[in-house]
Chain A
Amino acid sequence: MKIEILGTGCSKCKTLYDNAKKAVEESGKEAEVVKVEEIPKIMAYGVMSTPALVVDGKVKLSGKVASVAEILGML
């Protein structure tokens, strides 16, 4: 599984990244969490408010920070 955190490097993006890491750890699943900071890549997903969370190429959330529990529900 691949989880991407879209955002141009604001503090919220960092929080979302950390939460996603924790969620993956708790779930025990095999997943890679990466940050995506380049505008063209972010735009390719059609996301207009950052941070956003993408799981296997599908936008699950944009414009807010999700809690660890919320992200667990998306995996």
Chain B
Amino acid sequence: MLKSFADYIVFTIIGLVPGSRSGESLNFFIYDTLKIFLLLTTIIFVVAIIRTSFPPEKTKRMLSHKREYVGNVLAALLGIVTPFCSCSAVPLFIGFVESGVPLGVTFSFLISSPMVNEVALIMLWGLFGWKIALIYIGSGLLVAIFAGIVIGKLKMEKYVQDYVWEMQVGNAEIVEQTFRQKIDYAREYTLELLKKIWPYVVIGVGLGAFIHGYVPQDFLARWAGRDNPFAVPIAVALGVPLYSNAAGVIPIVHALMEKGMAIGTVLAFMMAVTALSLPEAIILKNVLKNRLLAVFFGIVAMAIVCVGYLFNAIL
């Protein structure tokens, strides 16, 4: 239905020729923008309602004194449904470790929460299909579980800033929200998020449409194809500074894949964009000493590179 609407606008109303570069680019742009905004609005709303049942205080209680392995798996899964904003990463981190959540388990949560987020998933589902979206969730969880276990094994508690261990943490009662409040919250959250990301989506889809129509097929196959062993690490390195623009990055990457970028490289790039970011590193520096911060970034980056190679090899 969306497809015929886009066809109607571009080829009937504007009168561009089907198959022409400008026609195909504009058609692609209108179709993708409509599809993504429809998906974003409905899914963000549903996810926001689910999240009202998982406040971080509750997640903390579920994870406190959990053993490694089981704790890491649970933490990575809870990371999907617990709302997380990098601006509250510090109180969240302190709240977790103070209440006895093991350090490695805390990291599994901190890695999975921003990486497996609804905006990235919707964009992947809308543009790449549900299979790629599921692979992204699965490998994102694996990276979070694995990196958390390794950090736990390395016994790095002494590289957490000292004041964190001396902090007195109170016990806030969680005020249960009524259904009406949950709906209101979800509506506001959806509007707020859409307001924030819509320019990135439009610009990203616009650039993607341009690449789709104007860049020659197989243009990237030589550099970003599966035969270049450096493509994955370079993609990960490029992904770190692109934080918060996941909504704009995915449509561009989608178009690049059409031009020959390999799927594992695409996934690794996406994960680096969402999981590793400079602003988050700066915020986490408040609670982590440099050594632990470097270990955290290093292990996650390595795990993501491995995921990239794996999917380049098997898909």
A47 at the interface (CB under 8 A from B): yes
**In the complex, what residue of chain A is closest to B82 when comparing beta carbons?**
A49
Give chain B's interface secondary structure class: helix
B176 at the interface (CB under 8 A from A): no
**In the complex, what residue of chain A is closest to B90 when comparing beta carbons?**
A39
**Residue contact A61 to B87, C-beta cutoff 8 Å:** no
Other-chain residue from A42, A43, A63 in contact with B55 (beta carbon distance below 8 A): A63
**Residue contact A8 to B90, C-beta cutoff 8 Å:** yes
**Residue contact B167 to A49, C-beta cutoff 8 Å:** no
A60 at the interface (CB under 8 A from B): yes
Q: How far is the CB of B91 from chain A (nearest CB, A)?
A: 5
- Give the number of residues in A that approach B within 8 Å (Cβ atoms): 21
A10 to B279, CA, bound (A): 13
- Please name all residues of chain B whose beta carbon is closer than 8 Å to the beta carbon of A39 when the two chains form the complex: 90-91, 94, 167, 286
A44 to B94, CA, bound (A): 11
Q: How far is the CB of A69 from chain B (nearest CB, A)?
A: 11
A37 to B169, CA, bound (A): 15
Q: What 1/0 mask marks residues of chain A from 1 to 32 whose CB sits below 8 Å from any chain B CB? A: 00000001010100000000000000000000
**Residue contact A48 to B88, C-beta cutoff 8 Å:** yes
B4 at the interface (CB under 8 A from A): no
**Residue contact A59 to B173, C-beta cutoff 8 Å:** yes
Q: How many A-B residue pairs have CB under 8 A?
A: 71
**Residue contact A50 to B83, C-beta cutoff 8 Å:** no
**Residue of B96, B169, B188, B189 most packed against chain A (CB within 10 A):** B169
B92 at the interface (CB under 8 A from A): yes
A65 to B191, CA, bound (A): 13
**Residue contact B170 to A49, C-beta cutoff 8 Å:** no
Other-chain residue from B56, B60, B167 in contact with A40 (beta carbon distance below 8 A): B167
Beta-carbon contacts under 8 Å, A26-75 to B: 39-40, 42-50, 59-65
B interface, size bucket: 20 to 34
B172 at the interface (CB under 8 A from A): yes
Beta-carbon contacts under 8 Å, B145-200 to A: 163, 167-173, 175, 185, 188-189
A8 to B163, CA, bound (A): 17
B57 at the interface (CB under 8 A from A): yes
**Residue contact A49 to B88, C-beta cutoff 8 Å:** yes
**In the complex, what residue of chain A is closest to B185 when comparing beta carbons?**
A64
B13 at the interface (CB under 8 A from A): no
Q: How far is the CB of B106 from chain A (nearest CB, A)?
A: 12
- Please name all residues of chain B whose beta carbon is closer than 8 Å to the beta carbon of A48 when the two chains form the complex: 56-57, 60, 88, 91-92, 95-96
Q: How far is the CB of B179 from chain A (nearest CB, A)?
A: 15
A61 to B173, CA, bound (A): 10
**Residue contact A49 to B92, C-beta cutoff 8 Å:** yes
**Residue contact B94 to A43, C-beta cutoff 8 Å:** yes
* 22 A–B contacts from the bound complex (CB under 8 Å): A8-B88, A10-B87, A39-B91, A39-B167, A42-B91, A43-B95, A43-B98, A43-B168, A43-B170, A45-B172, A46-B95, A46-B170, A48-B91, A49-B55, A49-B85, A49-B91, A50-B87, A50-B88, A59-B173, A62-B55, A63-B56, A63-B83
4 tightest A-B CB contacts, nearest first = A46-B172, A46-B170, A48-B95, A10-B87
